[in-house]
Amino acid sequence: MKKLFLLFCFICFSFNSSLANEVKNLSADEALKILKEGNLRFQNMKEKHPDQTKERRKELQNMQHPFAVVITCSDSRVPPSLIFDQGLGDIFEIRNAGNVLDNHVIGSVEYAVVHLGVKLVIVMGHENCGAVTATLNDVHESKFISSLINSIEPALKMYDENSNEDKLTSTVKNNALYVANNLIKSDKILNDYIKNKGLKILPAYYHLDSGKVEFLK
Ligand SMILES: [Zn+2]
């Protein structure tokens, strides 16, 4: 009986290890391909809803190996795992209003990259973002809202009057670009992972109506 139990443990461990390796070995490009395919399914209402079984919950009980980080807005219309048609343990989500950067966000990305082996980070703004709209309207109703607005203001200053896009859309996109660039600049460890270990950080924009994620680089 004891031998049988040990064999069972060995099989479980091997299975979990192979799953972990399989995901850990995903390059940034492979991870991006999975996200793009999932988003296409979402746009066309042909979702597979992967990794949402009881077995998946069991697999993840003592470990996680997500293959992508998505930094995005807290907006209820922008849930990354639904938009990319992924499931439990697939996407490491970091969210706040306006997808702004602070030490907590940087630390969270660093954890996912260094300790969970993620090679792809997406910074995703979205259509009609309330936090960016508040920045355009210069809303400073409390020190906490001001903190968000102040973080988005640099993107507002990037607006080009000759742009074909309206100021809100342009600022949301510039904010995603600004956050992606600053994430790279702010963290030496992430910088090293980009130069030497295949990490990619990409800005993106989510269209609320079509469900499409537009990659900005
Ligand atoms: Zn938003």
Q: What's the confidence (pLDDT) of residue 18?
A: 39
**Of 6 and 74, more confident:** 74
200-206: strand order across its sheet: 91-95, 68-72, 120-126, 200-206, 213-215
Give 68 Cα–ligand 1 centroid separation in angstroms. Answer: 20
pLDDT digits (tens, 9 = 90+) for 186-209: 999 999 999 999 999 999 999 999
Give 121 Cα–ligand 1 centroid separation in angstroms. Answer: 18
Give 99 Cα–ligand 1 centroid separation in angstroms. Answer: 7
pLDDT digits (tens, 9 = 90+) for 95-118: 999 999 999 999 999 999 999 999
Q: Where are the domains of the chain?
A: 27-215
pLDDT-derived band at 23 (thresholds 50, 70, 90) equals low
Paired tokens of 182: 């600053």
Give 193 Cα–ligand 1 centroid separation in angstroms. Answer: 28
> What is the pTM for the complete model shown?
0.89
> Are 92 and 118 contacting, i.e. CB atoms less than 8 angstroms apart?
yes
CB neighbours of 136 closer than 8 A, spacing ≥ 6?
156, 167, 168, 171
Q: Does domain 27-215 have CATH number 3.40.50.620?
A: no
pLDDT-derived band at 25 (thresholds 50, 70, 90) equals confident
Give 175 Cα–ligand 1 centroid separation in angstroms. Answer: 11
